[in-house]
């Protein structure tokens, strides 16, 4: 890959919220995690990311939780989005855009590492997932909405029964929907003003 191809890959990434019904082959998902997510940098090389992949019947069961999470953010979005985009976003939360794959991303925290460093390590893996999806011809959307009902999501996934959860070490950070894109949304312009400060 040339440097130009790399930057084109990064710039081509968009958040996709409408998907085809086609299943994502397991070998593709394994590549995304084994060859991309798990190669992200992490604080003290703890590799503290934990991913829960939800498909099929379990994915369908999650829809009622997605709809509930919408209640926590809809008022904020109504102020920020145009009416047509607000309506589209609401429909997305009720169907998750028909995405066949849901991923819930957790940090396995430790007193040996600062909290924000552990969180940052997981989000670097999440970015690798975003880019790997782009390479694989998939679309994805990283969502903070599951945090609106964090405890319920933990229970839904059975995370609450894990020893590390009971020890207060396992923390939900975000969700990702993955599938083959069924729309080509415009990419919002990048805001660069006042984003860089140079010190010499």
Domain count, the chain: 1
Average pLDDT over residues 165-174: 97
The model's pTM? 0.96
Task: Name the pLDDT band for 178 (thresholds 50, 70, 90).
Answer: very high
pLDDT value of residue 172 = 98
Is position 199 within any domain? no
Quote the distance between the C-alpha of residue 25 and its chain's center. Answer: 19
- Nearest one of 20, 3, 59 to 180, comparing CA atoms: 20
Is position 193 within any domain? no
Is position 200 within any domain? no
Is position 25 within any domain? yes
User: Torsion over CA of 175, 178, 182 and 185, rounded to 10 degrees?
Assistant: 50
Is position 105 within any domain? yes
DSSP 96-140: GGG-SEEEEEEEE--TTS-HHHHHHHHHHHHHHHHHHHHHTT-EE
**What is the residue range of 109's domain?**
9-179
Is position 196 within any domain? no
Using one digit for the tens of pLDDT, what is the confidence trace for 103-144? 999 999 999 999 999 999 999 999 999 999 999 999 999 999
Q: How many residues in the chain?
A: 200
pLDDT value of residue 128 = 98
CATH code, domain with 107: 3.40.109.10
Is position 145 within any domain? yes
- Nearest one of 104, 96, 181, 95 to 138, comparing CA atoms: 181
Task: Name the pLDDT band for 77 (thresholds 50, 70, 90).
Answer: very high
């Amino acid at each position: 890959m040339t440097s130009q191809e790399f930057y084109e890959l990064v710039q081509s990434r968009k958040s996709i919220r409408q998907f085809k019904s086609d299943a994502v082959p397991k070998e593709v998902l394994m590549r995304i995690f084994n060859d991309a997510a798990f190669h992200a940098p992490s604080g003290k090389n703890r590799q503290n990311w934990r991913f829960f992949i939800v498909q099929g019947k379990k994915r369908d069961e999650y829809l009622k939780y997605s709809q509930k999470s919408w209640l926590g953010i809809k008022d904020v979005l109504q102020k920020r989005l145009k009416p047509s985009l607000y309506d589209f976003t609401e429909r997305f939360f009720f169907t998750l855009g028909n995405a066949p794959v849901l991923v819930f991303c957790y940090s396995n925290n430790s007193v040996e590492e600062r909290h924000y460093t552990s969180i940052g390590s997981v989000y670097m893996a999440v970015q690798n997932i975003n880019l790997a999806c782009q390479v694989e011809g998939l679309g994805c959307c990283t969502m903070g909405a599951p945090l609106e009902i964090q405890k319920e999501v933990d229970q839904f996934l059975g995370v609450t029964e894990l020893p590390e959860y009971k020890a207060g070490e396992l923390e939900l950070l975000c969700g990702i929907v993955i599938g083959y894109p069924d729309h080509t949304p415009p990419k919002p312009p990048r805001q660069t003003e006042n984003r860089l400060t140079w010190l010499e």
